[in-house]
Copies of this chain bind each other. A is one copy, B any other.
Amino acid sequence: MAKSRYEYVRDFERDDRLLPSTWLVVRIDGQGFTRFTAKHGFAKPNDLRALQLMNRAAVAVVEAMQEIVLAYGQSDEYSFVFAKDAKAFERRESKLSTLLVSKFTSAYVFHWAEFLPQTPLQALPSFDARVVVYPSDRILRDYLCWRQADCHINNMYNTCFWALVDKGGVSQKDAERRLKGTLAKDKNELLFSEFGINYNDEPEIFKKGSVVVRGTAPVDVADPSGAVVQRQKPVVQTLHCDIIRDAFWDARPEILGGKSARDRDRDRDKPRPAADCHRQ
**Pick the contact of A124 from B60, B95, B101, B139 — CB < 8 Å?**
B60
**Chain B residues within an 8 Å CB radius of A14:** 15, 132-133
CB closest residue in chain B, given A21: B135
Q: Are A124 and B149 in contact (CB under 8 A)?
A: no
The segment out of A1-9, A197-205, A212-220, A266-274 that lies at the interface is A1-9
Q: Are B12 and A152 in contact (CB under 8 A)?
A: no
Copies in the assembly, this chain: 4
> How many of chain A's residues have a CB under 8 angstroms from any CB in B?
62
**Chain B residues within an 8 Å CB radius of A150:** 3
Q: Are B12 and A133 in contact (CB under 8 A)?
A: yes
How far is B9's CA from A134's CA once the two chains are assembled, in angstroms? 8
The segment out of A40-48, A105-113, A233-241 that lies at the interface is A105-113
How far is B28's CA from A121's CA once the two chains are assembled, in angstroms? 24
**Minimum C-beta distance from A61 to chain B (A):** 9
How far is B6's CA from A150's CA once the two chains are assembled, in angstroms? 10
Q: Are A102 and B128 in contact (CB under 8 A)?
A: yes
How far is B19's CA from A13's CA once the two chains are assembled, in angstroms? 8
Q: Are A130 and B3 in contact (CB under 8 A)?
A: no
The residues of A with any CB-CB pair to B shorter than 8 Å are 1-3, 6-9, 11-15, 17, 19-22, 28, 31, 60, 64, 93-95, 97-99, 101-110, 121, 124-136, 139, 142-143, 145-146, 149-150, 152-153, 184, 244
Q: Are A130 and B9 in contact (CB under 8 A)?
A: no
**Chain B residues within an 8 Å CB radius of A153:** 1, 3
How far is B121's CA from A196's CA once the two chains are assembled, in angstroms? 47
**Chain B residues within an 8 Å CB radius of A94:** 93, 97, 128-131
**Minimum C-beta distance from A84 to chain B (A):** 9
